[in-house]
Amino acid sequence: MTEQPTEISATATAEGAEAPKKLFIKTYGCQMNVYDSERMAEALGAKGYVTTEVAEEADMVLLNTCHIREKAAEKVYSDLGRLRPLKQAKPDLKIGVAGCVAQAEGEEILKRMPLVDLVVGPQSYHRLPEMVEAKGKVVDTDFPEEDKFDHLPQRKALRGPTAFLTVQEGCDKFCAFCVVPYTRGAEVSRPAARLLAEARDLVSRGVREITLLGQNVNGYHGAGEGGTWGLGRLLREMAAIDGLDRLRYTTSHPNDMDDDLIAAHAEVPQLMPYLHLPVQSGSDRILKAMNRKHTAEQYLRLIERIRAARPDILLSSDFIVGFPGETDTDFEATMDLIRAVGFGAAFSFKYSARPGTPAAEKPELPAEVSDARLQALQALITEQQRAAQMAMVGREVGVLYEKPGRLPGQMVGKSDHLHAVHVTDSLGKPGQLVRVRITGSAPNSLAGEPLRD
Ligand code: 5AD
Ligand code: SF4
């Protein structure tokens, strides 16, 4: 869900190659892409590529793109333009475009940007090793039947004690504004046994927290022992893995929060008290136009049930402002819903018309109207986020240390509620799960002290 492009620094080792070739990957958009970039680095590692953080020294540059909003998609083209001098200086440099822009635009990318050598959609990453060896330009945006994860090599690069695990891909919901059902295709769930094996492997290599990923993760319905498993069952079985201390999942649709999943929040101690449950709008009229298939009231009732199961749960959401036809009254309904729920965090976006989606046919609102609404909504969310953080001060929470902080003797990690916490702890090491007393709150993080016997 991060909006910030991230450059990955996973180190894939060359196997049997002479001089390692260097791979630079830039990741845009969501956590699924962060995960996919790591897997692509590993797949190309088998072909002798090692990753670099310096684009200028790369033999291959791969942009793992996001198509969800226009700005994200256009950024890819401006970044490609900036690669031109590099390609001119180094004609052998391979430039690849992966991810959802690749899926949505396919060959068009080659027409618009002739410097691109390969275009690969999210379902074809296992074919990357062959694709890089091909002469000339290659485009692969098929939706093959087979599970791409079967063909990707076992994970090597682990980044600390937390890991993502993709359990489901694609989305069947067809929200009127969203390109995901077109770029990522229909929902496909990976079989439970494979996921459990992958989770065990991660834990055996030091992972203590796993976040299950999927575009519509709580729609998970994978083949498991005795039939089809929902996400609740999968979480319960994962929680039984020795040494796996924490579980999370993202991103969910309200209509797929079934009873078993809600009960898991009460019954599975490893399932952390934080839930990202996008509602997008608080106006029934707009929710209907968005094809969300639930009302504001139904969302509020659902939140009540989730809070009954796990009273201390922190909720976050996504919001879109300025959806076609949104009036001041509709927007006020969204603000009312936010006040009624009290979110710990949220992502909010100005509506962006995406070609091929039903909403793109409708007239857009003036930019000033959307800008003002976004500002008002973000101010309210910031207020709620601060209040949720302040409420933590004085409390004891678990913090999983991820890395040393900037100050000497400081560790940084995430609390159970997914707050970043800076802990003064000269004995701390990454991977430790420590009880911490929260002593202070800064704009985007908390401060704390370890509670040691
Ligand atoms: N315009 C603005 N925001 C969008 N999102 C998805 N599509 C669009 C769009 N066309 C937002 C939704 C979604 C999040 C990942 O991105 O809020 O939950
Ligand atoms: Fe897009 Fe999420 Fe709606 Fe699916 S549920 S169409 S991914 S916004």
For 277-288, the pLDDT digits (tens) are 999 999 999 999
In degrees and rounded to multiples of 5, residue 139 shows phi and psi of: -130, 125
The predicted structure's pLDDT at residue 406? 92
Read off the pLDDT of residues 309-322 as tens digits, 9 standing for 90 and up.
999 999 999 999 99
Residue 133 lies in a domain: yes
Read off the pLDDT of residues 28-48 as tens digits, 9 standing for 90 and up.
988 889 989 999 999 999 889
Residues 40 and 188 in one domain: no
Which CA distances in Å does 117 have to 23, 38, 44, 102, 279? 14, 21, 16, 12, 39
Residues 228 and 309 in one domain: yes
**Cα 156 → chain centroid:** 20
Residue 435: which CATH number? 2.40.50.140
Protein residue closest via CA to atom 12 of ligand 1: 318
Residue 432 lies in a domain: yes
Protein residue closest via CA to atom 6 of ligand 1: 178
Q: Within 10 Å of residue 157's Cβ, how many Cβ atoms?
A: 16
Residues 381 and 400 in one domain: no
Residue 1 lies in a domain: no
Residues 67 and 199 in one domain: no
Residue 25 marked as a ligand binder: no
Residues 407 and 386 in one domain: no
Contact 446, 433 (CB under 8 A): no
Residue 401 lies in a domain: yes
Please, which pLDDT band fits residue 142 given cuts at 50, 70 and 90?
A: confident
Protein residue closest via CA to atom 18 of ligand 1: 318
Please, which pLDDT band fits residue 16 given cuts at 50, 70 and 90?
A: very low
Residues 266 and 367 in one domain: yes
Q: Which residues line ligand 1 (CB under 6 A)?
A: 68-69, 177-178, 278, 280, 318, 320, 349, 351-352, 354
Across the beta sheet with 274-276, what order do the strands follow? 274-276, 314-321, 345-350
Residues 236 and 308 in one domain: yes
Does residue 113 have a pLDDT over 70?
yes
Q: Which of 67, 216, 287 to mutate to test the pocket of ligand 2 (most atoms within 8 A of CB)?
A: 216
Tell me the HSE value of 74 on the side-chain side, using a 13 A CA sphere.
Answer: 5
Residue 321 marked as a ligand binder: no
Q: Which ligand 2 atom sits nearest the alpha carbon of residue 318?
A: 8
Residue 340: which CATH number? 3.80.30.20
Residue 429 lies in a domain: yes
Q: Which residues line ligand 2 (CB under 6 A)?
A: 171, 173-175, 178, 180-181, 215-216, 253
Please, which pLDDT band fits residue 2 given cuts at 50, 70 and 90?
A: very low
- Of 13 and 380, the structure prediction assigns the larger pLDDT to 380
Tokens of 292: 């969300």
Read off the pLDDT of residues 187-200 as tens digits, 9 standing for 90 and up.
999 999 999 999 99
Residue 87 marked as a ligand binder: no
Protein residue closest via CA to atom 1 of ligand 2: 178
Exposed / middle / buried, residue 451 (Cβ in 10 Å: 0-12, 13-18, 19+): exposed
Q: Which ligand 1 atom sits nearest the alpha carbon of residue 352?
A: 1
Instruction: Name the residue with tokens 């039903």.
Output: 358
Residues 117 and 204 in one domain: no
**Closest-lying ligand to the alpha carbon of 356?**
1
Exposed / middle / buried, residue 430 (Cβ in 10 Å: 0-12, 13-18, 19+): middle
Read off the pLDDT of residues 320-331 as tens digits, 9 standing for 90 and up.
999 999 999 999
Residue 183: domain span:
149-390
Tokens of 436: 């911490």
Alpha helix ranges (H) inside 240-279:
259-267
Average pLDDT, rounded, for the chain = 92
Residues 133 and 163 in one domain: no
Residue type, 426: S
Domain boundary among 390, 414, 436: 390
Residue 222 lies in a domain: yes
Instruction: Name the residue with tokens 């976004």.
Output: 374
SS3 content of the chain, % helix, strand, coil (to 5): 35, 25, 40
Instruction: Name the residue with tokens 């922190």.
Output: 314
Which CA distances in Å does 16 have to 19, 22, 49, 267? 9, 15, 11, 48
Domain boundary among 140, 167, 184: 140
Residue 390 marked as a ligand binder: no
Contact 335, 382 (CB under 8 A): no
Q: What percent of the chain has pLDDT over 70?
A: 93
**Closest-lying ligand to the alpha carbon of 279?**
1
**Closest-lying ligand to the alpha carbon of 349?**
1
Read off the pLDDT of residues 376-385 as tens digits, 9 standing for 90 and up.
999 999 999 9
Those residues whose C-beta lies under 8 Å from the C-beta of residue 397, and which sit 6 or more positions away, are: 415, 416, 417, 419, 421, 435, 436, 438, 448
The predicted structure's pLDDT at residue 147? 66
Please tell me the total count of domains within the chain.
3
Residue type, 355: P
Q: Which ligand 2 atom sits nearest the alpha carbon of residue 68?
A: 1
Residue 333 lies in a domain: yes
Residues 383 and 415 in one domain: no
Q: What is the DSSP string of 363-404?
A: PPPPHHHHHHHHHHHHHHHHHHHHHHHHTTTT-EEEEEEEEE
Residues 96 and 244 in one domain: no
Tell me the HSE value of 371 on the side-chain side, using a 13 A CA sphere.
Answer: 3
Q: How far is the CA of 177 from the centre of ligand 1 (A)?
A: 7
Domain boundary among 80, 112, 140: 140
Q: How far is the CA of 292 from the centre of ligand 2 (A)?
A: 9
Residue 380 lies in a domain: yes
Read off the pLDDT of residues 349-389 as tens digits, 9 standing for 90 and up.
999 999 999 999 999 999 999 999 999 999 999 999 999 99
Residues 375 and 341 in one domain: yes
